[in-house]
């Protein structure tokens, strides 16, 4: 499939020595943290010391201040990260009516792991979210793939995941592409002993966290209850303790890569964020606003010139950039922007680009178009639309009340959305569907993804 794709793009296959393609980046380590919103990391201005190792490493890399995921929940977002395609293009998501039915990522879609394998890398993926199970298609291109199912009360820890990933990396003598997915800080917020109490010590708990049962948080997700400000603060403190555990695990990845002694690019990002009543809601999957789709994105490695980039970029841009660095082919089936020269310090990200978001897990389906701090969100099935702009704190998004701005900016972003998608019609899932097992349904139900 790789060879046919390269020929279709008008490119020759990579040059090789003794039959093995020569990679541009010797090693690539992609770390994806589930449910990590950017503004809870120190490098993005958080007040608590959640990320000392990440912050120190990021100072030597390129930090993207306004990186956007293409969806606010795991399956479509990870599929976009792995393929550079928008959700309406790859169509990996839940059926809008039958909750036991999902569209998997089809084998016709080229993945980042397939690209790197074609360039001579050994490829391995270590995942923990149930949506990373092979039945959903995201394992395409990995020579070695380990996925552990998760439910509300249990998942493979970041420490265990890094143990397994580093064991594979240490034993691998070839150039490597390693994807490490860390389940913290997804609900149920349950930090390990090494970080528990780091931000809650001495505080009388206003409620029990970890919650222990998804039924206890359903009223928050459904909007029938809102915890007190003190309880909201406490919840976020425990969430931050989970992030600190991720920071420790990430530090071990940095140490392991250094011990391997090979040049490597390391990329840190997230599949989506988490809402803490920014717009009256909790958790994720319910909309496409900043707290859910703004994700951390940092790239470090040989040839990367340290800097901060304020212009918006997306996961599809990251896909295109990493394909460019693989040596597999200079072309790719994505409309993302190649950021290679931006990473080298010789180019700027152009302003005025429109980045799309698609697909909500809860409620009616949603679409969004984002440009330079302004976001238009549309729910076409119910005829609801709103225009948001970044608020005074630089983090949250607020409804733009000015009628002239709503008319002008809203229409321009709507037009851009229609131009890119062809229409605002719901995504048609096609025939590549999978009905998940009762065991998987119970895992997803425990995590709150299905009723």
Q: Where are the alpha helices (DSSP H) in 206-359?
A: 218-222, 229-260, 290-293, 315-326, 340-344
Mean pLDDT of 425-442: 74
pLDDT tens-digit map of 362-421: 877 899 999 999 999 999 888 889 999 988 877 789 998 888 888 899 999 999 999 999
% of residues, the chain, pLDDT over 70:
89
State the helix-helix crossing angle for 229-260 and 158-171, rounded to 10 degrees. 10
Q: Say whether pLDDT at 73 is over 80.
A: yes
Q: pLDDT tier at 437 (50, 70, 90 boundaries)?
A: low
Total residue length of the chain:
451
- What pLDDT score does 232 carry? 97
Query: Peptide bond before 382: cis, by omega within 30 degrees of 0?
Result: no
pLDDT tens-digit map of 86-114: 999 999 988 777 767 888 999 999 999 99
8 A C-beta contact, residue 102 and residue 134: no
Q: Where are the alpha helices (DSSP H) in 261-329?
A: 290-293, 315-326
List phi, psi (to 5°) of 291. Answer: -65, -20
- What pLDDT score does 155 carry? 83
d(CA 210, CA 45): 26
d(CA 83, CA 261): 29
Mean pLDDT of 198-210: 96
Strand pairing class (27-33; 264-270): parallel
Q: Classify 33 as helix, strand or coil.
A: strand
Average pLDDT across the chain, whole number: 88
Could you give all domains of the chain from N- to C-terminal order, each with its CATH number? 2-8+25-346+428-447 (3.40.720.10), 366-425 (no CATH)
Q: Say whether pLDDT at 278 is over 80.
A: yes
Strand order in the sheet with 176-182: 144-147, 122-127, 176-182, 27-33, 264-270, 297-300, 62-64, 307-309
Query: What is the distance in angstroms between the CA of the first residue and the CA of the last residue of the chain?
Result: 38
pLDDT tens-digit map of 109-134: 999 999 999 999 999 999 998 889 99
List phi, psi (to 5°) of 8. Answer: -65, -30
Mean pLDDT of 150-164: 85
Q: Say whether pLDDT at 149 is over 90.
A: no
Q: Say whether pLDDT at 22 is over 60.
A: no
d(CA 327, CA 234): 47
Q: Say whether pLDDT at 432 is over 80.
A: no
Q: pLDDT tier at 2 (50, 70, 90 boundaries)?
A: very low
- What pLDDT score does 91 carry? 92
pLDDT tens-digit map of 243-268: 999 999 999 999 999 999 999 999 99
**Which residues in 110-125 are b (16+ Cβ under 10 Å) and which e?**
bbbbbbbbbbbbbbbb
Mean pLDDT of 269-276: 97
Q: pLDDT tier at 435 (50, 70, 90 boundaries)?
A: confident
8 A C-beta contact, residue 299 and residue 85: no
Q: Say whether pLDDT at 8 is over 50.
A: no
Longest dimension (CA), the chain: 66
Q: Say whether pLDDT at 12 is over 70.
A: no
- What pLDDT score does 381 carry? 82
Q: Which 3-state string (H, E, C) describes 115-138?
A: HHHHCCCEEEEEECCHHHCHHHCC
> What is the CB-side half-sphere exposure of residue 373 using CA atoms within 13 A?
13
Mean pLDDT of 216-225: 91
**How many of the other CB atoms lie within 10 Å of CB of 184?**
28
């Amino acid at each position: 499939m790789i060879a046919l794709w390269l020929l279709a793009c008008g490119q020759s296959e990579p040059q090789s020595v003794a039959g093995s393609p020569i990679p541009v980046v010797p090693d690539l380590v992609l770390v994806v943290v589930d449910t990590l919103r950017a503004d809870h990391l120190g490098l993005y201005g958080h007040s608590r010391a959640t990320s000392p190792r990440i912050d120190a490493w990021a100072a030597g890399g390129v930090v993207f201040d306004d990186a956007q995921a293409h969806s606010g929940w795991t399956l479509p977002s990870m599929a976009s990260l792995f393929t550079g395609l928008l959700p309406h293009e790859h169509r990996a998501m839940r059926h809008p009516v039958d909750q036991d039915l999902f569209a998997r990522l089809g084998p016709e879609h080229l993945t980042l792991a397939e690209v790197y394998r074609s360039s001579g890398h050994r490829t391995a993926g270590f995942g923990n979210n149930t949506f990373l199970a092979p039945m959903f298609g995201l394992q395409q291109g990995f020579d070695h793939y380990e996925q552990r199912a998760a439910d509300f009360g249990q998942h493979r820890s970041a420490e265990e995941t890094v143990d397994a990933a580093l064991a594979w990396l240490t034993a691998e003598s070839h150039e490597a592409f390693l994807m490490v997915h860390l389940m913290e800080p997804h609900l149920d917020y349950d930090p390990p002993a090494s970080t528990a109490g780091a931000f809650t010590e001495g505080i009388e708990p206003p409620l029990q966290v970890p919650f222990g049962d998804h039924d206890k948080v359903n009223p928050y997700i459904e909007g029938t209850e809102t915890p007190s400000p003190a309880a909201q603060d406490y919840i976020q403190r425990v969430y931050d303790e989970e992030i600190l555990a991720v920071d420790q695990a990430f530090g071990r990845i940095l140490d392991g890569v250094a011990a391997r002694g090979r040049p490597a690019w390391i990329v840190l990002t997230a599949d989506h964020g988490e809402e803490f009543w920014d717009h009256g809601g909790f958790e994720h999957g319910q909309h496409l606003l900043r707290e859910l789709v703004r994700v951390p994105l940092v790239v470090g490695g040989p040839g990367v010139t340290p800097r901060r980039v304020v212009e918006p970029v997306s996961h599809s841009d990251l896909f295109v950039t990493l394909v460019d660095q693989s040596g597999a082919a200079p072309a790719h089936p994505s409309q993302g922007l190649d950021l290679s020269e931006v990473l080298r310090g010789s180019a700027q990200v152009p302003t005025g680009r429109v980045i799309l978001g698609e697909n909500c897990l809860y409620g009616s389906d949603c679409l969004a178009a984002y440009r330079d701090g302004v976001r238009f969100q549309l729910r076409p099935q119910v005829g609801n639309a709103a225009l948001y702009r970044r608020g005074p704190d630089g983090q949250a998004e607020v409804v733009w009340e000015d009628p002239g701005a709503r008319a002008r900016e809203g229409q321009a972003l709507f037009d851009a959305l229609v131009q890119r998608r062809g229409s605002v019609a719901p995504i048609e899932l096609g025939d590549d569907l999978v009905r998940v097992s009762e065991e998987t349904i119970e895992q997803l139900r425990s995590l709150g993804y299905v009723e």
